[in-house]
Amino acid sequence: CTVSPDNVPTAEGRVRSDVRRRNLWHRATYVVLVRGPSGTDGRAVPGRPAPPPTVLVQLRSDAKDYRPGCRDPAPGGVVGFGEDPVLNARREIREEMGLEAEDVGLERVCSFRYEDGGVRVWGELLGCSVPYRIDIGDMVLQEEEVKAVEWMAVGEVEEMAAREPKMWLPDGLLALRLYVQYASDLAAGRTIRDLDDYVLRKEGP
């Protein structure tokens, strides 16, 4: 689904290759798959400190047309013309990892924008909690899309991304950071404004 810089859908869609070649604004989904500490499902609880999440990181196939062979902490997919983003996310996690939305509690978090020299995207961020009964060995990976998956603490993701930034999806990293910020705000009872254009706050003065 191609859109304007303000996230208004265009009258007609564009083929994926054209979107990549011309770096057109489009929509995509980003799913943060969380596994929380023992005894929790990893979700934020109002009034309680947000636990440091452990997230599923995807190693992308070398055949991908965008950032092949890189790590993605918020896997998802390009939204088709007229496609509902939530249905897109449900389809992507089922096709790429064999996960059913009903088993992981898929929920919308926010929309956000990201732009660099390689991609211009309005992201639809969703979160879900993968129960402990579902292990990596139970996931069915789509070889054309995914090389491997692993559980990583958010701190570990940030450390690796700082050392090897070219090996990570920058838009996926933003999606993860927005999810962590959202969960922290929710747990602290803060008012969360404008979830249709959610932004990362700057830390410090």
pLDDT score recorded for residue 14 = 86
Neighbours of 174 (CB within 10 A): 21
Q: What is the pLDDT of residues 150-169, one digit of tens each?
A: 999 999 999 999 999 999 99
Across 98-134, b (16+ Cβ under 10 Å) vs e yields ebebeebebeebbbbbbeeeebbbbbbbbbbbbeeeb
- The per-residue pLDDT for range 130-143, each reduced to its tens digit, is 988 888 999 999 99
Res 38: pLDDT? 38
Distances (CA, A) of 139 to 46, 65, 188: 31, 23, 34
| pLDDT tens-digit map of 61-109 | 999 989 999 999 999 999 999 999 999 999 999 999 999 988 888 999 9
Residues whose CB falls within 8 Å of the CB of residue 70, separated by 6 or more in sequence, listed in order: 59, 60, 166, 167, 168, 169
Contacts of 85 (CB under 8 A, 6+ apart): 27, 29, 79, 108, 124, 126
Phi and psi angles of residue 108, each rounded to the nearest 5 degrees, phi first: -70, 140
pTM of the model: 0.90
Is a pLDDT exceeding 90 seen at residue 120?
Answer: yes
pLDDT in tens, 7-56: 999 988 888 889 988 999 999 999 999 985 433 444 555 555 555 689 99
Three-state SS across the chain?
A: CEECCCCCECCCCCCHHHHHHHCCEEEEEEEEEEECCCCCCCCCCCCCCCCCCEEEEEEECCCCCCCCCCEECCCEEECCCCCCHHHHHHHHHHHHHCCCHHHHCCEEEEEEEEECCCCEEEEEEEEEECCCCCCHHHCCCCCCCEEEEEEEEHHHHHHHHHHCHHHECHHHHHHHHHHHHHHHHHHHCCCCCCCCCCCCCCCCC
